[in-house]
Amino acid sequence: MILVASYNMRKAIGTDRRRRPERTLDVLKEVGADVVALQEADRRFGARLSAIPPHLIEEHSDYKPVPFDARDGSLGWHGNALLVRKDVEIVDKELVHLPSLEPRGAVLADLRVDGEELRVVGMHLDLSGLWRRRQAHAILAHLANRSGNPPTVLMGDLNEWSVAGGCLRDFGVHHRFAPCGRSFHARRPIAQLDRIMVSEGLEIIESGAHQSATARKASDHLPIWARVKRT
**3-state SS assignment for residue 172:** coil
Domain boundaries along the sequence of the chain: 2-230
Q: Beta strand 35-39 with 152-157: parallel, antiparallel or unpaired?
A: unpaired
- The CA distances from residue 159 to 22, 125, 156, 168, in Å, are 26, 6, 9, 10
Q: What is the pTM of this model?
A: 0.96
Mean pLDDT of the chain: 95
> What is the per-residue pLDDT across 32-54, written as a single tens digit (0 to 9) for each?
999 999 999 998 655 568 999 99
Strand arrangement of the beta sheet that strand 81-85 belongs to: 63-65, 81-85, 35-39, 2-8, 224-230, 202-209
Please state the separation of Cα 53 from the chain's center in Å.
Answer: 18
- The CA distances from residue 168 to 12, 50, 125, 212, in Å, are 27, 29, 12, 27
Cis peptide, bond prior to residue 221, ω within 30 of zero: no
Task: Give dist(CA 33, CA 73) in Å, integer.
Answer: 24
Superfamily of the domain at 2-230: Endonuclease/exonuclease/phosphatase (3.60.10.10)
Q: Beta strand 224-230 with 202-209: parallel, antiparallel or unpaired?
A: antiparallel
> What is the per-residue pLDDT across 138-182, written as a single tens digit (0 to 9) for each?
999 999 999 999 999 999 999 999 988 999 999 999 999 999 999
- The CA distances from residue 120 to 4, 90, 105, 136, 209, in Å, are 9, 11, 14, 15, 19
